[in-house]
C-alpha cells in the first residue's frame, strides 16, 4: 500500500445525527479496495467506536487525540496523563463544582453522580451519563479526562495547568484534558513510522479544533465543509459538508477513488 488516509469521526465520518452516510461507507470500501490504507484519528476512546470500526473494516486507529495508537489491533504507543498533576487539578474542579470524566481504553467513569453539563455533552455523542466512580483515575492509565465547564470558566485551568496539560474544547460545556503536547498529529507520526509511509502519501480529513495539528502535519490535510473556520484556514483542501457526502467528494477530488 502506497498511501494512507486518516479520518476523524464526529462531523467527518459521522454526520450530525451520528450516523454513517451510505456514500461515505461506499467511498471507504472503494478506497480500501484500491489499495489505500485507512485508519481513524479521533478524540474518542476505542470502546466508543468499536461498531464503526467493524462496519468499515478498520483495524488501525489513533485514539484519545493521539494518546493511544493501535496498528492492526496491536497497541504501538500510549501516553497517559500524569496522575499526580491530575490529582491537583481535580482539587480545583471540586472547589469550582466542575465535574470530570476519566477515560481509559476500556471505559469511562464520572466523579459526579449526575450533572447537566455531562448529560448534555455526552448526549451530543449519543452516550449516557457515565457511572459514578470518583477514584477511577487511580491505579490505572488514564489517557484523557473530560472537564465540564463553560468557555468563560476555562481560562482558570489553562492559566494554572497549561504547562502540564493541553486543553481542547469540543462542546460548549466540555474540554478534553490531554498530556501537554498531545495531539492526533503525534499519534499519526507513531503510526506512519511503524508503516513506513512517506509524508506526501499521508492524508487526513477532519472538522474540529482537535484536527488542526493533524491537518497541518500530514501531506494533504482536508477540512470538511462543516469544519470550523480555523480548521479550514489550515487545510490544503476543503471538501463538502458532512451532510453532503463530503468524504466521497473529497476522495474523488483527490483522485483516491
How far is the C-alpha of 97 from the C-alpha of 87, rounded, in Å? 15
How far is the C-alpha of 181 from the C-alpha of 172, rounded, in Å? 22
Task: Tell me if residue 8 is catalytic.
Answer: yes
How far is the C-alpha of 174 from the C-alpha of 12, rounded, in Å? 20
Nearby residues of 39 by Cβ (< 8 Å), 6 or more positions away: 4, 5, 6, 7, 58, 60, 61, 62, 191
Catalytic residue among 8, 176, 207, 211: 8
Nearest to 69 by CA among 237, 188, 227: 188
Lookup: cell for 186: 503525534
Lookup: cell for 148: 465540564
Nearby residues of 100 by Cβ (< 8 Å), 6 or more positions away: 90, 93, 110, 111, 112, 145, 146, 147, 148, 177
Nearest to 105 by CA among 55, 53, 68: 68
3-state SS class at 68: strand
Longest dimension (CA), the chain: 55
Burial classification of residue 172, based on how many CB atoms lie within 10 Å of its CB (0-12 exposed, 13-18 middle, 19 or more buried): exposed
Count other Cβ atoms within 10 Å, centred on residue 234: 17
Residues with a catalytic annotation lie at: 8
Amino acid at each position: 500500500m502506497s498511501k494512507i488516509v486518516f479520518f476523524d469521526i464526529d462531523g467527518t465520518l459521522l454526520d450530525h445525527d451520528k450516523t454513517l452516510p451510505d456514500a461515505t461507507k461506499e467511498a471507504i470500501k472503494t478506497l480500501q479496495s484500491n489499495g489505500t490504507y485507512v485508519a481513524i484519528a479521533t478524540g474518542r476512546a476505542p470502546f466508543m467506536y468499536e461498531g464503526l470500526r467493524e462496519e468499515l473494516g478498520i483495524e488501525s486507529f489513533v485514539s484519545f487525540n493521539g494518546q493511544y495508537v493501535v496498528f492492526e489491533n496491536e497497541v504501538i504507543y500510549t501516553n497517559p496523563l500524569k496522575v499526580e498533576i491530575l490529582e491537583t487539578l481535580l482539587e480545583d474542579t471540586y472547589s469550582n463544582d466542575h465535574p470530570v470524566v476519566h477515560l481509559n481504553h476500556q471505559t469511562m467513569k464520572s466523579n459526579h453522580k449526575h450533572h447537566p453539563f455531562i448529560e448534555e455533552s455526552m448526549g451530543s455523542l449519543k452516550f449516557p451519563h457515565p457511572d459514578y466512580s470518583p477514584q477511577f483515575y487511580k491505579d490505572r492509565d488514564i489517557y484523557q479526562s473530560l472537564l465540564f465547564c463553560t468557555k468563560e470558566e476555562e481560562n482558570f485551568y489553562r492559566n494554572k495547568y497549561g504547562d502540564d496539560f493541553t486543553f481542547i474544547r469540543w462542546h460548549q460545556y466540555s474540554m478534553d484534558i490531554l498530556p501537554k503536547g498531545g495531539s492526533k498529529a503525534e499519534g499519526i507520526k507513531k503510526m506512519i513510522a511503524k508503516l513506513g509511509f512517506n509524508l506526501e502519501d499521508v492524508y487526513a480529513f477532519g472538522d474540529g479544533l482537535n484536527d488542526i495539528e493533524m491537518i497541518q502535519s500530514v501531506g494533504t490535510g482536508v477540512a470538511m465543509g462543516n469544519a470550523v473556520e480555523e480548521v479550514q484556514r489550515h487545510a490544503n483542501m476543503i471538501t463538502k459538508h458532512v451532510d453532503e457526502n463530503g468524504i466521497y467528494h473529497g476522495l474523488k477530488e483527490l483522485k483516491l477513488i
